[in-house]
Amino acid sequence: MPQVKIIAKNFMDMVAALPAMKLDKLYENTFICEAVLRSLPPLAKKYVLQMLYLVGPITAKSMEEWVLADGLSKHRGAIDRLLQLRVFLEATDRKKETSYKLNPKFQDSLQKYLVYGGAVPTEPMPSIITGRLPTLDSLEAYALEQWECFLLQLISSGQPERPSSIGSSMLKVFQRGLLSSRESEAPKLTESGFQFLLMDTNAQLWYIIREYISTSQDRGVDPADLISFLLEFSFHSLGEAYNLNTLSEVQRNAIKDLADLGLVKLQQGRKESWFIPTKLATNLSVSLSDTSSRKQGFVVVETNFRMYAYSSSKLHCEILRLFSRIEYQLPNLIVAAITKESLYNAFENGITAEQIISFLQQNAHPRVAEKTPSVPENVSDQIRLWETDRNRVEMIPSHLYEDFPSKDVFEAASDFAREIGGLLWEDSKKMRLIVRGESHQDMRDFLRRQK
């Protein structure tokens, strides 16, 4: 079964993929420029600031002199990233000498930002209108509950009697790669869907946002406008209230979709309505490699293949059920066992041994996370062995040849099958051959000539 890899890209990869005209249009927004600057590698940031007030281009040879010999690899990486994002524009003169200069749109916006200072995209609403807002703790609990409901809807998608609380836009994101649906059949998880559930929250969020942007044109929304709004949205303050009426129709629809994910909480007053960014919204500006935003682990794996998950989350229980046998569940403890049968079921659904081991390592309880390894070696080795054991038998379409008229014809047929790379097995005593299916026609033609 082929492995389907889910790669979660960050905003800057999506920004870099935009056409040059749309990218230049985005750089008229100072918030976009600030977000791009923050995302750059340290050396690339240094180059931008060094060239911010230079009018003419700088030759590539001159820039290489800015770094020591052992820093050339970082230098090339910084230049490549700046070119991908069109922060740097490349030019070649008559002598075929390469030079770089800052994108004028980006340069102008960043100069204004540094001179006049930055302001928040939207001012928070006064407390006189909103009244008492939710505390940060209650807001975080709401975001977690909403995100878990969102993922539970994915897991229980095969149950037609369960009503869906997911908006149509987000449902299309699911159906694009995580769910498969046929006429007169309930939606089912795809291999990518099962693998998605084992990813950490940050990676899951980036996958959903990436697919949400990729499908925006189907909803009549320009991806560049959506990226611009989401980047501005990442500058909003956690726990503050922002007026919905100041947003465009496209932006209001996006906020409602983000509310399905738990990134914002919607509230309605007597006259005004507003949204409050949650802690999940801060993940939009966090790198995938940043582990500081990840949740504390909850799983303890013992050498006897038993698992103890210190959690009251129904979502955690359903995810563990993907590759283990749930034995019993207490209010704050889930006891499970990793068995050959439970793993075979996981492998059948497209989940790999490495994904299971990675999930257990990333979600290891703090008491065992400090140990090396956090998952007992005999458990991780056995998970890999069971996967190898399942893949040990390979199904190859083939044909059996027997009842040869003579030993000479058999040996000639055996040699011919070996020459064309189609021989799988032979029994010289009983004069029998097994040949690959794709070599069958060549074998038939050869045997006809022998007659």
Tell me which of 8-22, 37-51, 260-274 is least confident.
8-22
Residue-level pLDDT at 9: 45
Q: Residue 285 has what pLDDT?
A: 56
Q: Is residue 5 part of a domain?
A: no
Q: Point out which residues pair with 326 in neighbouring strands.
A: 336
Sign of the dihedral defined by the CA atoms of residues 321, 323, 327, 331, in that order: negative
> Residue 140: which domain range?
127-285
Residue 5 predicted with pLDDT over 50: no
Same-domain pairing of 137 and 82: no
Give me the residue label for tokens 């009018």.
55
CA–CA distance, 360 with 376 (Å, rounded to integer): 10
**Which pLDDT value is given to residue 199?**
84
Residue 271 tokens read as 């006259």
Residue after which a domain boundary falls, among 257, 285, 313: 285
42: DSSP letter: H
- The burial class, CB within 10 Å (0-12 / 13-18 / 19+), for 85 is buried
- If asked whether residues 248 and 335 sit together in one domain, one would say no
Task: Name the pLDDT band for 183 (thresholds 50, 70, 90).
Answer: low
* Domain annotation covers residue 122: no
Q: Is 8 within 8 Å of 210 (Cβ atoms)?
A: yes
**Rounded Cα gap, residues 96 and 448, in angstroms:** 64
Of the chain, the percentage scoring pLDDT greater than 90 comes to 39
Beta strands in 54-198 (DSSP E): 58-59, 88-92, 98-102, 179-180, 188-189
The residue-averaged pLDDT of 126-152 equals 88
Kindly report the average pLDDT of the chain as a whole number. Answer: 85
For residue 421, tell me if it sits in a domain: yes
User: Is residue 6 in some structural domain?
Assistant: no
Give every CB contact of residue 240 below 8 A, 6+ residues apart in sequence.
Answer: 124, 125, 133, 276, 277
Higher pLDDT, 319 or 180: 319
Which CATH number does the domain housing residue 418 bear? 3.30.70.2610
Verify that 273 and 314 share a domain, yes or no. Answer: no
**Which among 93-97, 194-198, 315-319 has the top mean pLDDT?**
315-319
Whole-prediction pTM value?
Answer: 0.70
Enumerate helices (H) and strands (E) in the chain, giving the number of each: 21, 15
One domain, residues 171 and 274: yes
Q: Are residues 345 and 234 in the same domain?
A: no
Q: Per-residue pLDDT averaged across 350-375, rounded? A: 91
Judge whether residue 392 has pLDDT over 90. Answer: no
Alpha helices (H) in 191-248, listed in sequence order: 191-197, 201-214, 223-233
Are 109 and 28 found together in one domain? yes
The residue-averaged pLDDT of 122-150 equals 87
What is the distance between the alpha carbons of residues 417 and 335, in angstroms, rounded to a whole number? 55
What's the confidence (pLDDT) of residue 3?
Answer: 35
pLDDT-based confidence at 59, cuts 50/70/90?
A: very high
pLDDT band at 290 (very low <50, low <70, confident <90, very high): very low
Examine the domain organization and report whether 256 and 180 are in the same domain: yes
| Number of independent structural domains in the chain | 4
The verdict on 72 and 192 lying in the same domain is no
For residue 187 the two structure tokens come to: 């939606």
109 and 170 inside one domain? no
Residue 1 in any domain: the answer is no
Mean pLDDT of 302-307: 96
Which residue, 372, 390, 408, sits at the end of a domain?
390
Please state, in angstroms and rounded to a whole number, the distance separating the CA atoms of residues 80 and 88.
9
Task: Indicate whether 439 and 308 sit together in one domain.
Answer: no
- Give the span between the Cα atoms of 332 and 160, in whole angstroms: 29
In a domain, 138, yes or no: yes
385 with 407, same domain: the answer is: no
Backbone angles phi, psi at 343, to 5 degrees: -70, -40
Model confidence over 143-181: pLDDT tens digits?
988 888 888 888 876 454 444 556 666 767 766 778 776
Question: Do 140 and 237 lie in a common domain?
Answer: yes
Task: Assess if residue 270 is contained within a domain.
Answer: yes
- The string of pLDDT tens digits covering residues 205-235 is 888 888 888 888 888 898 888 888 888 887 8
pLDDT at residue 269 in the model? 82
Mean pLDDT over 116-128 rounds to: 75
In terms of average pLDDT, the best of 97-106, 173-182, 287-296 is: 97-106
Length of the chain (residues): 451
